[in-house]
Amino acid sequence: MHRRHLFGLLGPGLAAVASATDENDSVASNQATADALDEDLAGAILTIDLVAIQENWRRLRAAAAGAECGAAVKANAYGLGMMPVARALFDAGCRTFFVARPREGERLRSRLSDATIYVLDGFFAGEPGHFEMHRLRPALISLDEARGWAAFCRKIGRRLPCALHVDTGINRLGFDLDEFAHLTDDEATMADLPVALLMSHLACSDESGHPMNPRQLVAFEQVRARLPRVPASLANSSGIFLGEDFTMDLVRPGLALYGGHPGHGATNPMRPVVRLEGVVMQVRTVAAGETVGYGATWQASRESRIALLGAGYKDGIPRRFSSEPGRPSAEVALDGLRCPVVGRISMDMMAVDVTEVPVGRVRQGTRMEIVGDTITLEEAASRAGTISYELLARLGSRFARAYIGAATGG
C-alpha cells in the first residue's frame, strides 16, 4: 500500500498531528512531529474538516441576528484539537473564545495573541497571576470570587476585564439571583470590577417549546437591568435558533461548530466536520452457530464474514455501541452500504458483519466509516446510548488525525 502521510492533507500553517499519549492536547502541536502516525500505522483515522468548521461559524454568525459570534473551544475543541480549530476560527473572523480551565486558556493564548479568551469555570483560587499573565478573563461565579478579583485588580493597580456568570435556572455554576443583586449593590466591589460580559446558560435550548427557555429569558433580563451597559450572552448553539431575543450581544456556539445538530428541525443546518474510519485488521469466516466477542453475546445465524476494525473503547467508541440482544445493532458503513456491529466492543477493536458486502471488497487495510456521511454523528451517539457532545469529546488519542483545508480568512 502506498504510504500517504497525513502531512500532505494540510493547508499552509496547519499540521497533521499524531495520536499521542497526551489526550488533552496532543493535537495542539505547532508543527508536524517526527513520530506522527501515518495512515498505514493506525487502527483508525479521524479526519477533521477545518473549512467546514469555518463555514459553520459563518452560518451561526448569520443566524445570530447581528450578535457577535464567539466559539466554545473547551475540552480540546470538543475533542477535535483546540489549537488548529481555534486558528481556523480566528482566520474566519472569530475573536472571542471560551475555554473551561485556565490551562486551556494558557495554551490557547500561545497561539492567538489577539483573541479575547474567557475561562468558564470561574476564578481559580490562588491563581490570579495566571489570568493576568496570559490575559484571560474569568467568568466569575460567586460573590467571593468577585471580591477576590476586585481585590486583585486593586492590588496590581489595573482593571482586568471579567465576566459575571449568573445562574437563571440550570443550577450549575453561577451567581444565584439574590447573590448577584447583592454584588451589584456593593459599590466598593463594583468600583474595582471591570465587567466586560454578563452571561448565563440555557438548560433546554435544544427543545424550542420548552417552558424553561422563556423562564430563563425573563430571569436574565432582570440580570441585565442591573448592568444595562454591559454586553450580554445567553445563547449556546441551540439558543441561537430560538430567535433574536436570545442572541443578545454575543453567542457562544460549541457543538454546532463541529457539525452537531443544534436540535431544531429535522434537517441539520450545519456541515459535517468529522469522518471517523476504522481500519480492517482481519476478515474471518464464522460458521453458523459460532459466537463473536466477549460474553458470546452474538451468534451467527448463517455462515458470516466478520471484519475486525482497529477501534475500541480505548479510542472513545462507547461500549454501548456493542450489539445486544433485544435492541437494534449499531452500524458502520462502506460505500454507503450499512453493516451491523456484532458482539461487544473491546478495548482495541470492534467486529462488523460484512457478509452482504461483495467478496473481495473488504480486506486488511480497508477503511469503514464509523461516523461520516452515512452514519451521522447523532446516529452513532444514539446507537451508543449517549449524546453527540460526549461522543466527540471522548474521541481517542490513538487515531491518526488529518486536518483538511487551510484557514482561508473571511
| DSSP state string for 37-87 | --GGG-SEEEEEEHHHHHHHHHHHHHHTTT-EE-EE-HHHHHTT-HHHHHH
- Give the per-residue pLDDT at 92: 97
Determine the Cα–Cα distance for residues 163 and 407; give it in Å rounded to an integer: 29
Going along the chain from its start, the domains and CATH numbers come out as 50-258 (3.20.20.10), 274-375 (2.40.37.10)
- Give the per-residue pLDDT at 14: 36
Beta bridge partners of 304: 286
Question: 313 an active-site residue?
Answer: no
Q: Which residues, given as ranges, of the chain have pLDDT below 70?
A: 1-38, 125-126, 406-410
- Give the per-residue pLDDT at 22: 36
Any idea what DSSP says for residue 10?
-
The answer to whether 87 touches 73, Cβ cutoff 8 Å, is no
Question: 294 an active-site residue?
Answer: yes
- Give the per-residue pLDDT at 350: 97
Determine the Cα–Cα distance for residues 54 and 263; give it in Å rounded to an integer: 20
- Reported as half-sphere exposure (CB side, CA atoms, 13 A), residue 57 has a value of 30
Q: At CA 21, angle to CA 18 and CA 23, rounded to 5? A: 85
- Give the per-residue pLDDT at 125: 65
Kindly state the greatest CA–CA separation across the chain. Answer: 79
- Give the per-residue pLDDT at 406: 59
Q: Which of 74, 78, 118, 389 is catalytic?
A: 74
Q: Which of 258, 294, 314, 389 is catalytic?
A: 294
Q: Write out pLDDT tens, residues 123-143.
A: 876 688 999 999 999 999 999
